[in-house]
Amino acid sequence: MIRSIDINALCLTQPITGVQRFAVEIVAGIDRHLSASAQFRDQYRFRLISPRSARTMDLEHIPLARAGRLEGHGWEQLELPLHARGRVLLNLCNTAPVFSRNVVTIHDAAAFAVPEAYSRAFRLWYRALIPALGRGGLQVVTVSEFSREELSLRARIPKHKLAVISEGCEHILRVPPDHGVFARVPVRPRGYVLAVGSRSPHKNLGVLAAALRRLDAAALPFVIAGGVNARVFGNHDAAAGDGIHHTGYVTDGELRALYENACCFLYPSLYEGFGIPPLEAMTCGAPVIASHAASLPEVCGDAAVYCDPRDPADWARTLGLLIQDPTRQGELRRRGLERARGFTWERASTAMLDILDRVHRP
């Protein structure tokens, strides 16, 4: 019997963040499985369905069907169900049509746990949608045991409907490092610390600014990759020569170069459903200091040093000790590389296929 599965490709109209990364990597992994197995191709028929404005993906066996006239969540709720009627619909980015035969990935319960990170409209929409998808979906997937507990507690999704698929990190090695990023960041290899910036307050970059004020910023340049809310750093951020360098948007190649040349990577987030950046950093050989919060201890294991996310003194003390201890840095690099090898998109896509197989069983 041929198993027909549609894939919600709304993500192909959105910027690539961690959620969209999960989606495109799972789809690419499924396509690789189809390429590797004629038997698998005989059993399954996959199709991506997207709004007309979607980007393409370089896939061999999964066609892209652009459909409908709407965009965004209006397209997803009103037009996508018409095109996926009667078929299992795989949704990979937190949302799905309420009245479809959904396998839906919900990455976290952040709309419940950190409401200040979102607009009121977004928060209300997710707080209504996520429980509805949990109740009505054929299967709910999430990305960590932490998120499984959170979704069960906060969104009242029954635990027996929640399966866990960890994310991967090897994508960061697919592109060569682009050292051109250092033309606009005046730092030397192994002579700076790195963070990945975000405009969301739960990313908690302010604690790093406060920690940096306790250290010698001139001797310890601090690089923030990506878009950052300048208000997080206040006047200190605007001061000339204060040792804080914003890269702005970076490509994967530029990010890899920054990871590989950092003396350490800092991840102070208050709330994460998974948290790909620490694993990317480990994959590139950067020692990691992370918050002892949310999913991060589960993901990073013994390959990171942990700090209280709300205590700048703890971050300053831990960072100061680490940068003076090359032996400890080397040990963290070794553990990080070993830890990161356990998180692959190949493993994640295989686990998703196992779930789809169970959903189709009589």
**List of domains in the chain:** 3-168+344-360 (3.40.50.2000), 173-340 (3.40.50.2000)
Is the pLDDT at 215 greater than 90? The verdict is no
pLDDT at residue 270, rounded to an integer: 96
Distance CA 143, CA 331 (A): 27
Per-residue DSSP letter, 77: I
* Secondary structure (3-state) at 124: helix
Those residues with Cβ within 8 angstroms of residue 85's Cβ, 6 or more apart along the chain or in another chain = none
Identify the band that residue 237 occupies on the pLDDT scale cut at 50, 70 and 90: very low
User: Where is pLDDT greater, at 235 or 260?
Assistant: 260
In angstroms, the Cα distances linking 316 to 127, 307, 321 are 37, 10, 9
Least confident segment among 63-72, 83-92, 142-151, 201-210:
201-210
CB environment 173-201: b (16+ within 10 A), e (fewer): eeeebbeebbeebebeeeebbbbbbbebb
**Mean pLDDT, range 119-134, rounded to an integer:** 96
**Mean pLDDT, range 322-350, rounded to an integer:** 97
Are 71 and 55 within 8 A, CB to CB? no
Distance CA 9, CA 141 (A): 17
State which amino acid sits at residue 325: D
Are 323 and 340 within 8 A, CB to CB? no
In the block, which residue shows the tokens 């942990």?
A: 306
pLDDT at residue 59, rounded to an integer: 97
Mean pLDDT of the chain: 92
Q: Output phi, psi for 300, to 5 deg.
A: -85, -20
pLDDT in tens, 161-203: 999 999 999 999 999 999 999 998 989 988 999 999 766 788 8
Per-residue DSSP letter, 220: S
pLDDT at residue 242, rounded to an integer: 67
Q: In a 10 Å sphere around its CB, with 0-12 CB exposed, 13-18 middle and 19+ buried, how is residue 28 labelled? A: middle
pLDDT at residue 249, rounded to an integer: 86
* % of the chain surpassing 70 pLDDT: 94
pLDDT at residue 231, rounded to an integer: 38
* Six-digit token string for 256: 């890899």
CA geometry: angle at 13 spanning 12 and 15, to 5°?
90
Nearest alpha carbon to residue 287 among 274, 297, 300: 300
pLDDT at residue 213, rounded to an integer: 83
